[in-house]
């Protein structure tokens, strides 16, 4: 969450920053009023508590001295105790409302984030494709590459959307044979390329509400998550969720930073607002595999950590021979917790569109405040860590773009060479003989 002390200290700056994200000044004024009321009630309750403590001391002293006024003092103490309990309840009630309001406030956008309202205002930074030439704005694709991945998958027997529907409903894909192995190989490729610098984690696929709150996925995005209400759990939408909470409530030594982690998990998203929109094939699915890169770091390390994750994601895309573009997300399109996000989108020639496959985000201390993850400096003081994360990569859309991009004139798929070690040296996917 945002720094409440900063809001008190620099209300106009905070309101101006959040206005770039569409948050009204009136909303922040309400929070400031709640904060003032909460602090007033807190002071009142603490004052009464101090009086009760002093009266209790005096009652004990009076009774030891067999003072006739002991009963009157005790009665006064009970009266003040009742008032203190009422004041504490009022303080807690206002504090709860204040926290609920703060949990809905997004992060302040970084000054470097472009101005804008939505995805249409994102800024394209650069493009990359195999054999790119100066002055050529886009690569040429042959007709055999302009076939949708769901048709390719059916033709080669490597993607069975109908079976997925039969088993779990719409938007749950089923990969078969070489298609399943291709998906697995993509994960192996990524994890192996990161393992020298990032500790591999295999977290649970489910998380407590507190864990989901730490990243900012709750309460705002509850409708897009799968809830297991009987057990008080949520299916994770990304490995970012458990990785962010691995050190929840801890104070880390600065010498340990940055702490770099990576994980491949299944990711679950209800996509509640996406019914009927871009839902064919693998364009938008409820379950997909993704490798996440994550770092806890000091403020001074965060920019380099962000750049490293972005470079790794781009390196994977280049090794797979996929056309992509880098977008700098505008303030109005940033995720709730992000201060700065760079998106990577691959071009999928068979469906003729750009597909987001990675968001690399710097959250500053927004998530760390929610998760209460701090570090101890060399001077002995404590401060909240910064968190950085990004996908390297999300595989469903990569799979789609890859089979379309590398489809050959005879209908086979020529696999990128980097996948050969994970595919049993298989370099081509062809239709099974009937």
Q: Which of 430, 405, 214, 212 is nearest to 321 (CA)?
A: 405
Please tell me which residue in 84, 397, 404, 407 is annotated as part of the active site.
397
Q: Assess whether 57 carries a catalytic annotation.
A: no
Q: Assess whether 397 carries a catalytic annotation.
A: yes
Alpha helices, H only, 157-247? 161-168, 177-194, 209-215, 240-244
Tell me how far apart the alpha carbons of residues 371 and 365 are, in angstroms, rounded to a whole number: 10
DSSP for 337-377, please give it. Answer: T-SEEEEEEEEETTTTEEEEEEEEEE-TTHHHHHHT-EEE-
Residue 382's beta-bridge partner residues? 376
Q: Assess whether 356 carries a catalytic annotation.
A: yes
DSSP for 93-161, please give it. Answer: HHHHHHHHHHHTSPPPPPTTSPP-SSGGG-EEEEEE-TT--TT--S----GGG-S-HHHHHHHHTSB-H
Please tell me which residue in 193, 337, 348, 359 is annotated as part of the active site.
359
Q: Which of 128, 154, 149, 155 is nearest to 139 (CA)?
A: 128
Please tell me which residue in 20, 181, 260, 269 is annotated as part of the active site.
269
Cα angle: 281, vertex 391, 328; to 5 degrees: 95
Query: Under a CB-based contact definition with an 8 Å cutoff, are residues 51 and 57 in contact?
Result: no
Decide: helix, strand or coil at residue 286: coil
Q: Assess whether 248 carries a catalytic annotation.
A: no
Residues 6+ apart with CB under 8 A from 235: 205, 206, 225, 226, 227, 228, 268
Q: Assess whether 230 carries a catalytic annotation.
A: no
What's the length of the chain?
A: 434
Backbone angles phi, psi at 64, to 5 degrees: -65, -35
Please tell me which residue in 284, 369, 370, 374 is annotated as part of the active site.
284
- Counts of helices then strands in the chain (DSSP H, E): 12, 16
Catalytic residues: 269, 284, 356, 359, 397
């Amino acid at each position: 969450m945002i720094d409440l002390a900063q809001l008190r200290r620099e209300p106009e700056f905070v309101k101006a920053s959040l206005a770039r994200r569409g948050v009204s000044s009136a909303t922040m004024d309400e929070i400031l009023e709640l904060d003032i009321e909460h602090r007033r009630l807190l002071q009142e309750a603490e004052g009464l508590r101090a009086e009760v403590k002093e009266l209790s001391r005096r009652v004990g002293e009076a009774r030891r001295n067999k003072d006739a006024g002991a009963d009157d003092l005790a009665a006064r103490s009970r009266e003040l105790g009742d008032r203190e309990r009422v004041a504490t309840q009022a303080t807690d009630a206002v504090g709860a409302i204040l926290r609920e309001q703060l949990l809905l406030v997004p992060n302040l956008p970084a000054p470097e984030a472009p101005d804008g309202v939505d995805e249409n205002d994102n800024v394209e930074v650069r493009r990359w494709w195999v054999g790119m030439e100066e002055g050529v704005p886009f690569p040429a694709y042959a007709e055999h590459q302009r076939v949708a991945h769901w048709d390719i998958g059916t033709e080669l027997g490597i993607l069975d959307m109908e079976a997925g529907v039969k088993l779990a409903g719409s938007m749950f894909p089923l990969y078969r044979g070489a298609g399943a192995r291709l998906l697995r190989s993509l994960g192996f490729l990524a994890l192996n390329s990161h393992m020298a610098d990032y500790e591999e984690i295999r977290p649970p696929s489910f998380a407590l509400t507190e864990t989901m709150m730490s990243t900012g996925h709750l309460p705002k995005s509850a409708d897009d998550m799968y809830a297991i209400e009987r057990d008080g759990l949520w299916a994770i939408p990304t490995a970012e969720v458990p990785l962010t909470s691995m050190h929840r409530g801890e104070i880390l030594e600065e010498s340990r930073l940055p702490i770099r982690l990576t994980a491949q998990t299944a990711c679950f998203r209800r996509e509640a607002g996406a019914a009927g929109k871009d839902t064919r094939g693998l364009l938008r699915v409820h379950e997909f595999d993704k490798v996440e890169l994550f770092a806890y770091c000091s403020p001074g390390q965060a920019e380099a950590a962000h750049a490293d994750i972005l470079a790794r994601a781009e390196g994977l895309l280049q090794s797979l021979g996929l056309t992509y573009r880098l977008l700098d997300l505008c303030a109005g399109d940033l995720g709730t917790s992000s201060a700065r996000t760079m998106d990577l989108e691959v071009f999928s020639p068979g469906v003729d569109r750009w597909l987001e496959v990675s968001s690399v985000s710097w959250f500053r201390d927004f998530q760390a405040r929610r998760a209460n993850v701090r570090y101890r400096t060399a001077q002995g003081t404590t401060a909240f860590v910064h968190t950085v994360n990004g996908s390297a990569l999300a595989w469903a859309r990569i799979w789609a773009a890859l089979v379309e991009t590398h489809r050959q004139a005879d209908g086979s798929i020529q696999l990128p060479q980097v996948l050969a070690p994970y595919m049993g040296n298989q370099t081509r996917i062809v239709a099974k003989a009937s």
